[in-house]
Structure 1
């Protein structure tokens, strides 16, 4: 799975768009996936300006699969 496929799956789900970010950053109370400037993929939950549960991945596919697992209970 890549970001485009993940975006399509999320768009069709009941998960509110404001509860996630596919471009990273530190949005208020949101699940995030981010491709960093050094080429690493990260998934985390953004809350109070912090990255909680930060995980790093070498590939987009691994990160997208983990992100989907993170949000699965809310879909």
Structure 2
């Protein structure tokens, strides 16, 4: 999966577009993927600070991990019925 495909999955699953950025961002409270040289970095941006969560050698690995993080965050914030 690449970031273009990931964008489609996130949209189809109803994730809020302002909660993530697939080409890096300094927006507050967003999960981000950014290519830095030959690696892909996933970080959380909060109050102008980038908190790096993980680095990957391939875009595919980064996208898979990113999607898993988004699913996990959704499960953790979901209120019980």
Hey, what does 1:69 align to over in structure 2?
Answer: 68
Post-superposition Cα deviations, 1:9-58, rounded to whole Å, max 9, x if no partner, equal: 0111221100000011211100101112x221011111111122421110
Contact 2:34 2:40 in 1 (8 A): yes
* Count of residues in Structure 1 that have an aligned counterpart in Structure 2: 74
Task: Spell out structure 1 runs of 4+ moving beyond 2 A.
Answer: none
**Long gaps (5+) in structure 1:** none
Hey, what does 2:32 align to over in structure 1?
Answer: 32
CA RMSD of aligned residues (A): 1.5
**Long gaps (5+) in structure 2:** 76-81
Hey, what does 1:11 align to over in structure 2?
Answer: 11
Tell which structure's C-alpha radius of gyration is larger.
Answer: 2
Hey, what does 2:78 align to over in structure 1?
Answer: none
Higher relative contact order structure (alpha carbons within 8 Å, sequence separation ≥ 6): 1
Q: Secondary structure at the match of 2:38?
A: coil
Q: C-alpha separation between the residues in 2 aligned to 1:60 and 1:52?
A: 19
